[in-house]
Amino acid sequence: MNGGQAPRLRSYAIRDNGAMPANDEVDRIVGAWTRERPDLDFTPLQVLSRVGRLARHLERARRAAFSASDLELWEFDVLSALRRAGDPYQLSPKALLQQTLVSSGTMTNRIDRLVERMLVERRMDPNDGRGILVVMTERGRDRVDSAISLLLQGESELLDGLSQADQDRLSGLLRKLSLDFD
């Protein structure tokens, strides 16, 4: 771990006077396409290219936070599902499948690997003699807690250039857009 500090990310902040920067790389790309293909509407490219570029920055922040906490992305997904379940931090493999959207075979493999790393344990389900529960260990909880703290710090840095009102507005717009896909 790196002492609990998130890696410094490059910030593309809005200027202090609230004005937008003159141009970004997407503006240059869209401008070139518009020059070459004035018959097309490049509005979707302006929005979704920026979303894609931001996704790459977010992916870097996530990789850094998880790496600093000695976790892989998939490990964080499983451990965070268990952490969100609340004390005693346990779920059935089926519930983990539903939350992580992976196949049964993949989940079995992931649980096996997390058991090997002593981040989770398998226990018999007291309410179902044939069922098992996946229970997060204290070590697993420490790792996921570290990762989420570092992740939120890194993600906060990515949003530094937006006011709280702008963040709320952007969140609402992205929610509206993503509802059609969920």
pLDDT digits (tens, 9 = 90+) for 12-59: 344 445 556 678 899 999 999 999 999 999 999 999 999 999 999 999
* Residue ranges of the chain with per-residue pLDDT less than 50: 1-16
List Cα–Cα distances, 26 to 10, 43, 71, 153, in angstroms: 17, 11, 33, 26
Q: pLDDT value at position 182?
A: 66
Q: pLDDT value at position 52?
A: 95
Decide: pTM greater than 0.85: no
Q: pLDDT value at position 19?
A: 59
Q: Which class in CATH covers the domain with range 73-141?
A: mainly alpha
Q: pLDDT value at position 86?
A: 97
Give the DSSP H or E segment for 76. helix 73-84
For the beta sheet containing 90-91, the strands, ordered from the edge strand earlier in sequence to the opposite edge, are 90-91, 128-136, 120-125
Alpha-carbon distance 5 to 161, whole Å? 20
Q: pLDDT value at position 21?
A: 61
Q: pLDDT value at position 63?
A: 92
